[in-house]
């Protein structure tokens, strides 16, 4: 068990976009954020990315999973060895498959990368496998950042309910009320995945233009939204479900066939509008209107997406940089914060974040030999 008081922890996240690994240092006692430290990024090479893509949707023991895990462990070891001052590592790994409802058989979630290997290589305790316990206990296993987002709102000195919106491959929101004494009390936090965000836009760009993503939203800004596609998208039963709810990266993959007849710009504009409309639909579930929506993740750099969001949402939609946070690193920082909570036996999720029946602490701790 970690001694009491604040410690520097490093968190690392390999997100659903499969672009690379983010790592960042946070000084925390597991409740408050005292300081943010250095951060770094390690992109995957083309061949590494191909290995990860090939393993998407696969479970432990299936073809390609060991290779993917090796890619994840190598990239993390390289990146984290440069963040020397950390006492403890929070290692999320790479989600390859996520099925909290058991639609494919058994309820489970799979993050590639073995924390025991990293603990050995780095010579430090590593907290990992953050999601499995939550799913085993009946939760969605995601999102896990909400308790951290609550601490961010406190750290930024906010005094009214706000929403943190993460626009990665998938979108997720944390509605938080910083007037509450703790993230764990009822009414402090409500979180859920909103729908697909960048993943379908990236897939479109990759398929048609051999690029990685719609930089700045330039292509979408030139196109027109096909309202019938948008309507068909919003008819998906996911939007009728009450939170908590979470998604796998490819749950909405069929959306690409809906835009197959559109030209490139109209298809990009339509997928971008779908991502924004999904977030706006999520607003139906907020316990009270937020004073602002603070956007983190790569999607905040997509102007078409930010404009589409603001046009559908009644409060200011701003990048998290406006309250002094780092939108490239917030998820990595979240896993540093959560690692300290796990090491101290504090909960990492609860009924209002993942739908798990009671507050629970997930995560395994691996010590170096």
Ligand X SMILES: Nc1ncnc2c1ncn2[C@@H]1O[C@H](COP(=O)(O)OP(=O)(O)OP(=O)(O)O)[C@@H](O)[C@H]1O
Q: Which parts are annotated binding residues for ATP?
A: 15-22
Q: Is the peptide bond before 18 cis (omega within 30 degrees of 0)?
A: no
Binding piece for ligand AH0, criterion CB under 6 A, among 165-173, 199-207, 336-344, 361-369: 165-173
Question: In the bound complex, what is the minimum distance in angstroms from residue 299's beta carbon to ligand X?
Answer: 5
H or E stretch at 13: strand 7-14
Query: What stretches of 100-222 adopt beta strand conformation (E)?
Result: 108-112, 126-128, 162-167, 170-176, 189-196
Q: Which residues pair with 36 in a beta bridge?
A: 26
231 contact partners, CB below 8 Å, separation of at least 6:
none
Are residues 137 and 356 in contact, defined by beta-carbon separation less than 8 angstroms? yes
Are residues 153 and 162 in contact, defined by beta-carbon separation less than 8 angstroms? yes
301 contact partners, CB below 8 Å, separation of at least 6:
216
Binding-site member from 95, 296, 302, 366 for ligand AH0 (CB under 6 A): 95
Q: Does 144 bind ligand AH0 (CB under 6 A)?
A: yes
Q: Which two tokens stand for residue 9?
A: 């922890």
**Cα torsion angle, 22, 355, 348, 149, sign:** positive
Binding-site member from 109, 302, 352, 353 for ligand X (CB under 6 A): 302
Q: Which is nearer to ligand AH0, 15 or 178 (CB)?
A: 15
Residue 161 site contact among ligand AH0, ligand X, none (CB < 5 to 8 Å, cut-off depends on kind): none
Binding-site member from 168, 196, 282, 347 for ligand AH0 (CB under 6 A): 168
Cβ neighbours, 10 Å, residue 31: 18
Q: Does 128 bind ligand X (CB under 6 A)?
A: no
Site string for ligand X, 248-277 (x = CB under 6 A): ------------------------------
Residue 213 site contact among ligand AH0, ligand X, none (CB < 5 to 8 Å, cut-off depends on kind): ligand X
Question: In the bound complex, what is the minimum distance in angstroms from residue 92's beta carbon to ligand X?
Answer: 9
Cβ neighbours, 10 Å, residue 212: 12
Footprint (CB under 6 A) of ligand AH0, residues 322-341: 331
Q: Does 193 bind ligand AH0 (CB under 6 A)?
A: yes
Phi-psi label, residue 170: left if phi above 0, alpha if psi -120 to 50, beta otherwise: beta
Helix (H, G, I), strand (E, B) or coil at 214: coil
Q: Does 174 bind ligand X (CB under 6 A)?
A: no
Residue 98 site contact among ligand AH0, ligand X, none (CB < 5 to 8 Å, cut-off depends on kind): ligand AH0
Footprint (CB under 6 A) of ligand X, residues 305-364: 331
Phi-psi label, residue 186: left if phi above 0, alpha if psi -120 to 50, beta otherwise: beta
Question: In the bound complex, what is the minimum distance in angstroms from residue 156's beta carbon to ligand X?
Answer: 19
Residue numbers at the binding site for ligand AH0 (CB under 6 A): 15-16, 95, 98, 109, 142-145, 166, 168, 170, 172, 193, 246, 331
Residue numbers at the binding site for ligand X (CB under 6 A): 15-17, 19, 166, 168-170, 198, 201-202, 213-217, 297-299, 301-302, 331
């Amino acid at each position: 068990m970690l001694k009491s008081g604040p410690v520097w922890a490093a968190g690392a996240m390999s997100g659903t976009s499969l672009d690379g690994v983010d790592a960042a240092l946070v000084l925390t006692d597991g409740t408050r954020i005292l300081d943010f430290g250095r951060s770094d990024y390690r992109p995957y090479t083309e061949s590494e990315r191909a290995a990860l893509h090939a393993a998407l949707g696969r479970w432990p023991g299936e073809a390609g999973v060991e290779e993917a895990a090796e890619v994840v462990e190598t990239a993390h070891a390289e990146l984290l060895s440069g963040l020397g001052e950390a006492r403890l590592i929070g290692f999320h790994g790479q989600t390859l498959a996520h099925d909290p409802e058991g639609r494919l058989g058994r309820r489970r979630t799979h993050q590639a990368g073995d924390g025991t290997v990293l603990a050995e290589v780095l010579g430090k305790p590593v907290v990992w496998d953050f999601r499995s316990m939550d799913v085993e206990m009946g939760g969605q296993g995601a999102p896990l950042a909400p308790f951290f987002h609550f601490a961010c709102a406190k750290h930024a000195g906010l005094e009214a309910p706000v929403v943190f919106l993460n626009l990665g491959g998938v979108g997720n929101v944390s509605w938080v009320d910083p007037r509450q004494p703790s993230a764990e009390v009822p009414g402090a936090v409500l979180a859920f995945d909103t729908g697909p965000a960048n993943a379908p836009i990236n897939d479109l760009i990759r398929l048609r233009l051999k690029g990685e993503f719609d930089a700045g939203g330039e292509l979408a800004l030139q196109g027109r939204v096909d309202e019938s596609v948008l309507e068909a998208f919003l008819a998906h039963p996911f939007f009728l479900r009450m939170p908590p709810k979470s998604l796998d990266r490819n749950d909405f993959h069929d959306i690409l066939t809906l835009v197959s007849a559109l030209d490139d710009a109209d298809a990009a504009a339509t997928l971008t509008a779908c991502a924004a409309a999904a977030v706006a639909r999520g607003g139906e579930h907020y316990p009270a209107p937020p004073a602002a929506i603070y956007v983190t993740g790569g999607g905040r750099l997509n102007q078409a997406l930010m404009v589409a969001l603001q046009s559908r949402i009644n409060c200011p939609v701003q990048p998290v940089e406006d309250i002094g946070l780092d939108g490239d690193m917030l998820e990595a920082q979240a896993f540093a914060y959560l690692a300290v909570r796990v090491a101290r036996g504090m909960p990492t999720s609860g009924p209002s974040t993942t739908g798990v029946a009671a507050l629970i602490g997930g995560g395994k701790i691996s010590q170096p030999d």
